[in-house]
Structure 1
Amino acid sequence: MSKSALPRRGLLVGAAATVIGWHTAGRSWAVTGTDADTADTDATAGGPAPAADLAALPRLDGSVVADPGTLARFGSDFGHLVATAPRAVLRPGSVRDVSAVVAFAHRHRIPVAMNGQGGTGGAAELESHSNYGQAAAAGGVAIDARGLNRILSITPGRAVVEAGVTWAQLTDAALAQGWTPPCLTDYLHLSVGGTLSVGGIGGGVQRHGLQVDTVESVDVVTGTGQLVTASATADRALFEAVLAGGGQAGIIVRATLRLVPARERALVVNLFYDDLRTYLADQERLTAEQRFDLQVGEVVRNAAGTGWRYRVEAVAHYDGSAVPDRGALLRGLNCITAETAVVDQTAREYAFRVDGFAEYLKAAGFWGQPKPWLSLFLPASTTEAFMREAAELLTPADLGAGLLLFYPFRTDRFTRPMAVMPAEPVGWHFDLISFPAPGTDPAPALERNRRLYERAVALGGKRYLIGAIPGMTRADWRRHYGARWADAVAAKRRFDPAGILTPGQGIHA
């Protein structure tokens, strides 16, 4: 059987460098070009391969491509710290495509990872918002989540969406019907599947937990290509393994999410502190009393530029003219009263507040630079000690044009076992979202991240699955998951026995 006689399955006619099959001996793709759709353009194949060596792709609604431009775009991520290009990209035309390609990859031991392709602009701006190669599929197949971007339904209290839908898309569609997701990330142009794979954190965490805690069910493609609908009552082991599981047990392709009634307006209160201990006490008091609907915080430079100070950003939602009583909201707090600032805006304006900041970062040249982020969860009992040490270590250059978010949460709001947290009732989120100046060498920052991570772990802390922490070992991951490590290993073996899913996380390397 000649190559020209191969079934044209998986072939999108007219598309350059479209993959038609896999050379099992040479472990390389067979691709076809625009003008010679029977030619093998894979330089590693060693010339025309015998039919027995070529496993043809299954029939697809979309396509698998391997042109240099596409591979380069999927070879990096938002952090721009590592380059790990795939050797092919699936542009799915359906959920069935994901299942078929993962089953094919399972048979041939080809790495696979979903890539959220978040962002607001054209193809040049879309990218995985993993920060250190977590969504990479080095030498394997990247799945372009933008092929699964349909909002399937919005009904009272519930939304059903495909994994490539962004939270921005869902928020606007839900608001149009009087609903909203209960917990939103600060930057909304991220895929639903991507944030559910790591947890999904935002200002609503004190009341609602992570975004994974608002999920009713997920459709998942396991590492064998099986499509499964999982929930707390059906296939619970898979449900718990994929939510905040780092993509290790399955690829989320669809999710049913809880919605809450939307409010019209947001009263945004900013409180300032020069004393760390006072800030910690007031933040934890607000968390315990739940005076606000949303509550975050930030570490900022003082006016003289000689040290750090602290800011609470808290939001009370309301409708119509029923403006919340500011006196009641602020009673008993020990902030610097004269510096208190209040902004009244629509709820949508607050939800999309980061968009303007993102446009500034793009215009100023920060967006596409290496970004060594660090995201940690700390137990309340040791947070002060950690923050004092971090404040001595960090400089304004470490932030660049970025932010250092720093706020508490109640750990009883976290219900998904793979989202491991400090073993105390209250934890703190330390989120160094650095945007260093263009041309900055990221190597010292990565060393700093490792040093801060080690200190956090020594103090009972955990890491978030985003961020850039070099040198993570199997021992580090075992220590991270603690009592959940055996569950994580068992889920990997059961649902991804070939170990092909999301290798960039490095959890089971």
Structure 2
Amino acid sequence: MSSSAHSRRNVLRGIGAGAVVVGWSAVSSSWVTAEAGSAQASTVAPVPPLDGTLVTSPQVLGEFAKDWGGFVTGAPKAVLRAGSVQDVVKIVNYARANRLKVAVNAQSSSADAPESHSFWGNALAPGGIAIDGKSFNKIHSITSTHAVVGSGVSLHDLAAATLDRGLIVPSQTDYLRLSVGGVASVGGFGGTVPKYSVFSQMIEEIEVVTGDGRVLTASPTVCPDLFNAVINGGGQVAIITKAKIRLMKAPQRIRMFTLSYTDLAKWQRDQEFLMRDGRFTQQGGYFSRKPDDSGWWYQLEGGFYYSSPTVPDDAKLLAGLNDERAALQVNDHDFRDWTYRVDPGEQAWKDGGFWDGPHPWLSMIVPASKIQTFIPFVLSELTADQLGAGFSILSPLQTAQVTRPLFAKPNEPVAYLCDLLRMPPPGDPNIQAYLAQNRRFYDKLVSLGGKRYLIGAIPGMNPAQWKRHFGSNWDFLVSSKRRYDPDSILAPGQGFFA
């Protein structure tokens, strides 16, 4: 059998056997099989030969019809499992010619339960073509300073490969079952953000397929406008296929200090003091109910990286802090175990039935000057039951360290990620109330000069509100969209423009 015949057979699976011509019919808005030379064939745009496959089976389409949020659904008409970058080029050009939308969905959770970890249909392509990001899950190379990986590689797998060599990405998400390309498109928060910035700042070069069907390499010095439009750009102008990521030497151990505060102002002063001081590599925080359930209090987490023969000096590391010292917790961890610390919690959520339901998560970026206003506002309404089996995050970042323009941030030197990572119990009847609450919290945040993070479940966003979100960088996003995705086929689920 010739290679072209084999490639043609691989074009489309799931719509019938024995077809000679397969392609998209604009007349019926569906994929069609037809005998060559028939009248029907003349209305069909044949799919070009592919190295991979274009799948249309109902089971696969169903897998790409929803995301982890559980609020927005919309099945694609086909799923591309690419065998090469050129497959992506061909499908992008085919989609342009046939007015189909395209979105990448890496579904990068555990291999036995692939999931799209977005919350409001961000990675969906209803009626269009979904590109399975797992097609690009190869780790190409690892040196002492960088890893070059496919965009579909999960941070979980990347960490395993780099730790085997005594290396780690300086900043990565705490939950690691996310794809490199997906996280690069939004930012990526984890415990080292106060020191090293968000994950997307670790990306030094990308290979992409633009929305007009070109394969380009971009970096801060090569095609910088494209690079800046892709990183944190929500997939609007190009499809990431490969990334070069910064690495550093990994420690052997980490000592974690959890400090508690009843006074929010003291907590904030210590957070910002420690971020300037730099003694901890990991730093973050959250709020929780007091042990006697008499109200909320605030936790600060500091993590000190070390390797033998270094021994942490606890007294020095805790000097100058104003916590409730009687509540101090100190724990020492093997660094690899610490890296995968969320895995047991994920399994517990699955075992308890929390994983498969809707997830009304909310992620906000709060100006430091408004913490004393915004957090009491949230806590005056929030109850522990509204978090379910979930938790909060309240952690600082230095805004000057986030240099890619499409990461929307408050106009202050310091801001805080405020996450409400709700995990409602099965059958919780209050899901719509949680979404309405998310909207109230977000509207209050906007009035205080804050921003949302691109992920999260906030109902009612429209183009005018997205324009406000991106602020002075909106025109850059719009011009980049016109330049690199002139037919506006990419990432419709974000809803930035419609």
Same-fold call, TM cutoff 0.5: yes
Find the counterpart in structure 2 of residue 420 from structure 1: 408
Distance 1:305 1:493 in 2: 53
**1:14 Cα deviation after fit:** 10
Find the counterpart in structure 1 of residue 497 from structure 2: 508
Q: For each residue in 1:344-371, what CA deviation from the matched residue of structure 2 results, as whole angstroms up to 9, or x when unmatched?
A: 1111111110000000000000001100
1:67 aligns with 2:69: no
Q: For each residue in 1:323-380, what CA deviation from the matched residue of structure 2 results, as whole angstroms up to 9, or x when unmatched?
A: 2211111101111111111111111111110000000000000001100111010110
Distance 1:14 1:454 in 2: 46
**1:69 Cα deviation after fit:** 0.7
Find the counterpart in structure 2 of residue 411 from structure 1: 399
Find the counterpart in structure 2 of residue 192 from structure 1: 180
Counterpart pick for 1:340 among 306, 328, 343:
328
Distance 2:492 2:58 in 1: 22
The aligned runs of 1:28-47 (5 Å cut-off) are: 28-30=30-32
Q: For each residue in 1:306-335, what CA deviation from the matched residue of structure 2 results, as whole angstroms up to 9, or x when unmatched?
A: 321111121110001312211111101111
Instruction: Specify the code of the residue in structure 2 equivalent to 1:16.
Output: G
Q: For each residue in 1:431-456, what CA deviation from the matched residue of structure 2 results, as whole angstroms up to 9, or x when unmatched?
A: 11110111123211111111111110
Is this contact kept in 2: 1:198–1:466, CA < 8 A? Answer: yes
Find the counterpart in structure 1 of residue 362 from structure 2: 374
Give SS of 1:321's match.
coil
1:110 aligns with 2:100: yes
Q: For each residue in 1:370-397, what CA deviation from the matched residue of structure 2 results, as whole angstroms up to 9, or x when unmatched?
A: 0011101011001110000000111112
Distance 2:6 2:146 in 1: 41
- Point out where structure 2 has 5 or more consecutive residues left out of the alignment: none
Distance 2:379 2:12 in 1: 57
Find the counterpart in structure 2 of residue 481 from structure 1: 470
Find the counterpart in structure 2 of residue 240 from structure 1: 228
Distance 2:329 2:111 in 1: 33
The aligned runs of 1:387-466 (5 Å cut-off) are: 387-441=375-429, 442-466=431-455
Is this contact kept in 2: 1:112–1:140, CA < 8 A? Answer: yes
Counterpart pick for 1:360 among 312, 337, 348:
348
Q: Assess, with a 3 A threshold, how the Cα gap between structure 1 residues 49 and 214 changes in structure 2: closer, same or farther.
A: farther
**1:26 Cα deviation after fit:** 2.5
Q: For each residue in 1:69-125, what CA deviation from the matched residue of structure 2 results, as whole angstroms up to 9, or x when unmatched?
A: 111111111111121111111111222211211111112111110002121241xx1
Is this contact kept in 2: 1:9–1:20, CA < 8 A? Answer: no
> Considering only aligned residues, what root-mean-square deviation do their CA atoms show, in Å?
1.8
1:91 aligns with 2:81: yes
Q: Assess, with a 3 A threshold, how the Cα gap between structure 1 residues 50 and 119 changes in structure 2: closer, same or farther.
A: same
**1:7 Cα deviation after fit:** 7.3
**1:54 Cα deviation after fit:** 0.8
TM-score by length of 2: 0.95
User: How many positions carry a matched residue from both structures?
Assistant: 489
Is this contact kept in 1: 2:11–2:48, CA < 8 A? Answer: no
Distance 2:311 2:369 in 1: 36
Find the counterpart in structure 1 of residue 138 from structure 2: 150
1:17 aligns with 2:18: no
**1:9 Cα deviation after fit:** 5.0
Q: Which range moves more in the overlay, 174-183 or 235-244?
A: 174-183
Instruction: Specify the code of the residue in structure 2 equivalent to 1:17.
Output: I
Find the counterpart in structure 2 of residue 101 from structure 1: 91
Is this contact kept in 2: 1:167–1:190, CA < 8 A? Answer: yes
Instruction: Specify the code of the residue in structure 2 equivalent to 1:494.
Output: R
Q: Which range moves more in the overlay, 276-285 or 485-494?
A: 276-285
Distance 1:313 1:118 in 2: 28
Is this contact kept in 1: 2:12–2:56, CA < 8 A? Answer: no
Distance 1:140 1:464 in 2: 26
Is this contact kept in 2: 1:223–1:495, CA < 8 A? Answer: yes
Instruction: Specify the code of the residue in structure 1 equivalent to 2:197.
Output: G
Which stretches of structure 1, 4 residues or longer, exceed 4 Å deviation after superposition? 6-10
TM-score by length of 1: 0.93
Q: Assess, with a 3 A threshold, how the Cα gap between structure 1 residues 238 and 101 changes in structure 2: closer, same or farther.
A: same
Distance 1:20 1:10 in 2: 9
1:160 aligns with 2:162: no
Find the counterpart in structure 2 of residue 44 from structure 1: none
Percent of paired sites with the same residue:
43
**1:16 Cα deviation after fit:** 3.0
Q: Assess, with a 3 A threshold, how the Cα gap between structure 1 residues 49 and 189 changes in structure 2: closer, same or farther.
A: farther
Find the counterpart in structure 2 of residue 471 from structure 1: 460
Distance 2:169 2:161 in 1: 11
Distance 1:169 1:8 in 2: 32
**1:64 Cα deviation after fit:** 0.7
Is this contact kept in 1: 2:11–2:54, CA < 8 A? Answer: no
Distance 1:291 1:320 in 2: 18
Find the counterpart in structure 2 of residue 295 from structure 1: 283
Distance 1:56 1:94 in 2: 19
Distance 1:13 1:136 in 2: 22
Is this contact kept in 2: 1:8–1:20, CA < 8 A? Answer: no
The aligned runs of 1:247-262 (5 Å cut-off) are: 247-262=235-250
Distance 2:213 2:437 in 1: 40
Instruction: Specify the code of the residue in structure 2 equivalent to 1:506.
Output: G
Counterpart pick for 2:28 among 26, 29, 36:
26
Find the counterpart in structure 2 of residue 79 from structure 1: 69
